[in-house]
Structure formats: C-alpha cells, structure tokens
Amino acid sequence: MGKRFELHLTAMAHGGDALGRHEGKVIFVPYAIPGEEALVEMVEDKGRYARGRVVEILSPSPHRVTPPCPHFGPGKCGGCQWQHIAYQAQLEFKAAVVGNQLARLGRLPDVSVKRLIPSASPWHYRNHVQFSVGDDGRLGFVATTGRRVETIEACYLLHPLLEELFAALDLELPGLARLSLRAGVNTGDQMMIFETHDDLPPALESDLPVSCVLLLSDGTPVNLIGSNHITEVVAERRFRISAASFFQVNTAAAEELVRVVGEYLAPAGDETLLDAYCGVGTFALSLADKVGYVIGIEEDAGAVADARLNVAELTNVEFIEGSVEAFLPQLDRPIDLAVLDPPRQGCKPEALAALIELAPRRIVYVSCDPATLARDARKLAGGGYQLVEVQPVDMFPQTYHIESVALWVGPTG
C-alpha cells in the first residue's frame, strides 16, 4: 500500500486528471474534481510528479454527479473519464485546459479562449465506435489499466442508430479481433465493420438494412452485405464515407465546426482555399461555393476517393492524394486562406514551414489535442502569425478530449 495523505485539488490537467500539490510535488488524481478535498493514495512516484488514486472524497465538489454507466470508474472502461462531472462544469474545465496548454507549451498566455460550444446532446452522440473483443468473446472497450477488455452490456455514448445495431448483435465469431459500428445520423445509414485475426470473412445473417464490411489487415475493405460506405449530411451537403475513412464522431458538433471555420475564414468569394488533411472533403466542399478555388490534400487513399465522389456538381475543387508535408513545398499557386485539420499528432514541422512560406492571410487550425495545438502554435507565432482567438467545440462529452478551432491572421490578414 502506498503513502496516504489529504490533498486539495486545484486544477484539471490535460489528460483528464485533477491535480494538487503535496510536499511541493504535483499529484495527478483521476476521478477527482478541482476544488475537492480527497484522501489520496500514492500509486506511482515519477520524481518531479506523482500519480495517486482517490481513497475517499472528503469534501465533494458541487459539480460531482452520479455516473449513470455501471462500466465507468477506476479499473473499468477507459472510454469515458468525466461522467462524474456535471456537464456544464466539463465545458468550463475544457476551456481552462486549452488556455493552460497554450500558455505553458505555446508560450501564448493572453489568448482569448471562448466558452465551449456544447454538444447538442451530452449523451448518445457517437456515430462511430470500435469494440475490442474480450477473452470470453464478448464486446467491450479497453480498460483504464492494462490491456484487459471491459465487456459491456450498453454504452451511453452510442447514438440510437448504433444502439440498435449493438442490441441486435448475436455474435459467435472466434476469429473476431475488432468490430466497428458506424451510422449516418442524418441519413439513417448503418454499417458494421469486421476485423478478423486471419482476414477470413465471418458467416453473417442480418434482418436489418445494414451494410457489412470486412476490413483486411492491410486496410482493404471487402463488401460482405450491402455497400462499403455510408452517407452523412453536414451543412446541407451529402458526404460518402467509406468503411475506413475518417469522419467526425459527433455529427451535430461537426456542423458547428463547419460553421465556425467558415466564420473565421471570412471568404470574400474569389480566394484560393487550401484544405490540408481534408479527409472526405468536409470543409473543402462546405466552403467551395464561398471561394474561387479549393485545393484539398489528404494522405489516405480511401478518403481521397470519397472526397472526389463527394464533389458532385462543383467544378472549382481539386483533391490531391499525398502527405501535406510532401506536397505543400511543391505548391506554386498563391494561397489566400487555409484550414488545417491534422490528426492528434498535429502537423509535421515541414508542413508548417511550407505553409508559413505560402503566407495565406488567414489560417484556421482545427485541433483534437490542445497539447499539439499549443506546440504548433509556437511555430505559427514564430512565423509571423497572430493567434486571434480559439473556439473549442465539445465533440466528445464525458471525456477529456477537446476539439478546438483556432484563428490565425498573417501580416497581410
């Protein structure tokens, strides 16, 4: 048993833990809330900081609520971290985390971080979920500790279209490695994506109008039943989304992202817009009728194929398959506006350097990780760009994950 002590929690850290100080050392404690007094047991000492666990909450926060999910908590499902926090307080903590990361890592202490745009629903919002398979063959999610799978009876984050699929599942597939469920919230499309240890297709029967796809270990999708894609409607545009293509997991929040990005870019109608890490073309196509020309860059071949099919009647959009860092230095066309939506790892230094050289008058950076946003913010600031403000959007309620939209203005902006 580790050392026990009383701890006053003072802030929320990036990663979802509350933190406090004990004997001059920062202590990170999951499932606690800033403002609380807790009896904490040390579980890991890292020298400059340590990790603890809550033994008892001595003085609970007024923001503490009873988590509805029986799979939530220490040692259980790792999908949610904040079900014990009232939703409005979650929004406040997330905004504070973004500001703290920009100040500490980005060295930008005076940035205006706006209050989060809340999710239309703090529950039942996910249009995409990936299950792991437990030792007993049942579906679940990786637990908070170790590699154990917490098998589940229900998930409170699943959209009703996915809940319907999950409730209808009757699987006896010994070779199953993972199962993903996807849905088009605004279209009603449903899909199951199977991954097996031996790449052999499972034997399937379905009474539902659902598409079933086998995703091979090399990423190739193989149709089993129905189509190899779903469709979704965002900002009044229809998007084809293949089995392995990225799309935002919260459709209503994706609508807000498109709106904020458009407001921040403020196109006048004749500019050339760069959409880097464009995926299936969500931003590029939603903004195409507001600019003169759009260049989208995406490394994933399947997503590029979707994007090219999603173009529909538009004639001013070009999609390029390749990495942003490889293509941008070769781009010889002037860029007026740019939107970046990189993966969690952020942008490669070569990509940011090339973008700064292209000197668009406005850059909008869409981030799903405030730490990499802050890291890349330092590079953009060093390249002469001013960070005007950041608008977080709550894409992931009940979790510590934060989606943010940052507006940068260049010297000519």
pLDDT tens column, 362-383: 999 999 999 999 999 999 999 9
Let me know whether 265 and 333 are in one domain.
Answer: yes
Residue with tokens 């010297």: 411
- How many structural domains comprise the chain? 3
Task: Check whether 204 has a pLDDT greater than 90.
Answer: no
Supply the range of the domain harboring residue 140: 128-232
Q: What is the pLDDT of residue 208?
A: 77
Residues involved in catalysis: 368
Of the candidates 207, 336, 321, the residue with the CA atom closest to the CA atom of residue 269 = 336
Q: What is the structure's pLDDT at 173?
A: 72
Q: Would residue 35 count as lying in a domain?
A: yes
Q: What is the mean pLDDT of residues 14-38?
A: 96
Answer whether residue 80 is part of any domain: no
Q: What is the CATH number of the domain that holds 110?
A: 3.40.50.150
Residue with tokens 């199953």: 176
Are residues 278 and 383 both part of a single domain? yes
What is the C-alpha separation between 32 and 57, in angstroms, rounded?
A: 8
Could you tell me if 54 and 20 lie in one domain? Answer: yes
Sign of CA dihedral 13, 17, 19, 25: negative
Indicate whether 238 belongs to any domain.
no
For helices 87-104 and 370-382, angle between their N-to-C axes, nearest 10 degrees: 40
Domain shared by 270 and 363, yes or no: yes
Q: What is the pLDDT of residue 413?
A: 62
Same domain, 278 and 393: yes
* Pair (288, 396) in one structural domain: yes
Q: Are residues 196 and 339 in the same domain?
A: no
- Asked if residue 132 and residue 261 are part of one domain, the reply reads no
The chain-wide mean pLDDT, for the chain, equals: 94
Is residue 77 situated within a structural domain?
Answer: no
Q: What is the mean pLDDT of residues 160-175?
A: 85
For residue 132 the two structure tokens come to 């792991």
Residue 207 has pLDDT above 80, yes or no: no
- Domain boundary (198, 232, 266) is at 232
What b-and-e string marks burial along 343-368, b requiring 16 or more CB atoms within 10 Å of the CB?
A: eeebbbeebbebbbebbbbbbbbbbb
195 in any annotated domain: yes
Please check whether residues 257 and 399 belong to one and the same domain: yes
For residue range 70-85, list pLDDT tens digits in order. Answer: 999 999 999 999 999 9
**Residues 227, 293 share a domain:** no
Residue 1: what pLDDT?
Answer: 59
Per-residue pLDDT, averaged over 29-45, amounts to 96
Q: Is there a single domain that holds both residue 370 and residue 313?
A: yes
The answer to whether residue 79 sits within a structural domain is no
Co-location of 390 and 254 in the same domain: yes
Looking at residue 157, which CATH number applies to its domain?
Answer: 2.40.50
Let me know: does 181 contact 129? Beta carbons within 8 Å: yes
User: Among 94-98, 136-140, 296-300, where is mean pLDDT lowest?
Assistant: 136-140
Q: pLDDT tens digits, residue range 18-27?
A: 999 999 899 9
